[in-house]
Amino acid sequence: MATVKTTPNKPKDAGLEARQKLGWWHAYRFLILRRLSQLSIILMFLSGPLWNVWILKGNYSSSMLFDVVPLTDPLITAESLATGYLPEWTTIVGALIIVAFYAVFASKAFCSWVCPMNIVTDAAAWLRRKLGIRQSAKLPRNLRYVILVMILLGSAVSGTLLWEWINPVAALGRVFVFGLGATLWLVAVVFLFDLLVVEHGWCGHLCPIGAAYGLIGAKSLIKINVVDRERCDRCMDCYNVCPEPQVLRLPLHGSESDSPIVLDKDCITCGRCIDVCPENVFAFGSRFEKQVQVKNI
């Protein structure tokens, strides 16, 4: 059993203890792999303009993989259906492929391993910790689900794809493909909102895309497991880096009857809690803990 600390680590030092005790790669491995995943997907969109080899053609809302496999954002498809317009079959098939993948694979993996806005919000969170900005406005985390419903109702009433007017994920995607544009201000607003107004404000409280993927992946296979609660020394590093820290409380500090698996649909399966934990409390695993083991690197 680890010795419980009387004074938690400072937020700006999150990961320092893991780096000193377990090494640099251990403290950043899943962060690096996520960045490689996100940048690889951007390069797949750029492969056509740069090398005339179209791996992904389109954008984050709708694309074609090798001109064969359609991939469609489930939210934009739901908006289309809400307006009363039946999308083309390729759009529906593309949405079903995405829904099936994330429903089986991992909770909100799109948010942490694919979405380009995650790079922006992680940067704001890192800078916030380094600057010691702790005072934060309070917003209910369920607000994103309210926004999701409002978008669908608004699309039904207005007959337009309401969210696409202000979708910062699509705006950032256009920046990578077409260069800086007028919609870049949306990305700047999200960064400043997370930095100065609400901690993890966009992903953790407002994003309706994340809300949709949370519902889709609520029963997904891959989850974060608490390997041994007794190892936790309450340094708080995992809480300081997690964009959804509320999901850690029960698995880490709950009663014996509470599952040690992070089953909350809002976990983004990013693995940062595994990275920064010097006591190796966390590991990637499955929702059926003993049936399937997913080993850490």
For the segment 251-280, what is each residue's pLDDT rounded down to a tens digit? 999 988 899 999 999 999 999 999 999 999
Residue 275: the pLDDT is 97
Cα 46 to Cα 179: distance, rounded to the nearest angstrom: 11
pLDDT tens-digit map of 86-137? 899 999 999 999 999 999 998 899 999 999 999 999 999 999 999 999 767 8
The pLDDT score that the predictor gives to residue 23 is 96
pLDDT digits (tens, 9 = 90+) for 206-237: 999 999 999 999 999 999 999 989 999 999 99
Could you tell me which residues are beta bridge partners of residue 62? 72
Q: pTM for this one?
A: 0.91
Provide the pLDDT for residue 181: 64
Read off the pLDDT band of 167 (50, 70, 90). Answer: confident
pLDDT, tens digit (0-9, with 9 covering 90-100), for 8-66: 899 999 999 999 999 999 999 999 999 999 999 999 999 988 899 999 998 888 999 99
Residue 294 pLDDT: 47
pLDDT of residue 179: 66
What is the CB neighbour count within 10 angstroms for residue 95?
23
- Band of residue 156 on the pLDDT scale cut at 50, 70, 90: very high
Residue carrying structure tokens 């993989």: 65
SS3 label, residue 105: coil
Q: Which amino acid is at 199?
A: E
Domain definitions of the chain by residue range: 33-216
**pLDDT of 165 higher than 90:** no
Render pLDDT for 174-190 as a digit per residue (tens, 0 to 9): 777 666 665 778 888 99
pLDDT value, residue 185: 82
Which whole number is the average pLDDT over 149-165?
A: 92
H-run or E-run covering 283:
strand 282-286
- Per-residue model confidence (pLDDT) at position 166: 83
Q: Specify the pLDDT at position 171.
A: 81
DSSP letter string over the chain?
-PPPPSSPPPGGGTTHHHHHHH-HHHHHHHHHHHHHHHHHHHHHHHHHHHHS--SEEE-SSEEEETTTEEEE-HHHHHHHHHHT----HHHHHHHHHHHHHHHHSBTTHIIIII-THHHHHHHHHHHHHHHT--------TTHHHHHHHHHHHHHHHHSS-GGGGT-HHHHHHHHHHH-S-TTHHHHHHHHHIIIIISTTHIIIII-HHHHHHHHHTTT-SEEEEES-GGG-----HHHHH-SSGGGGHHHHHS-TTS-SB---TT-----HHHHH-TT--EEEEETTTTT------
Mean pLDDT of 266-295: 85
CA 71 to CA 37: how far, in whole Å? 17
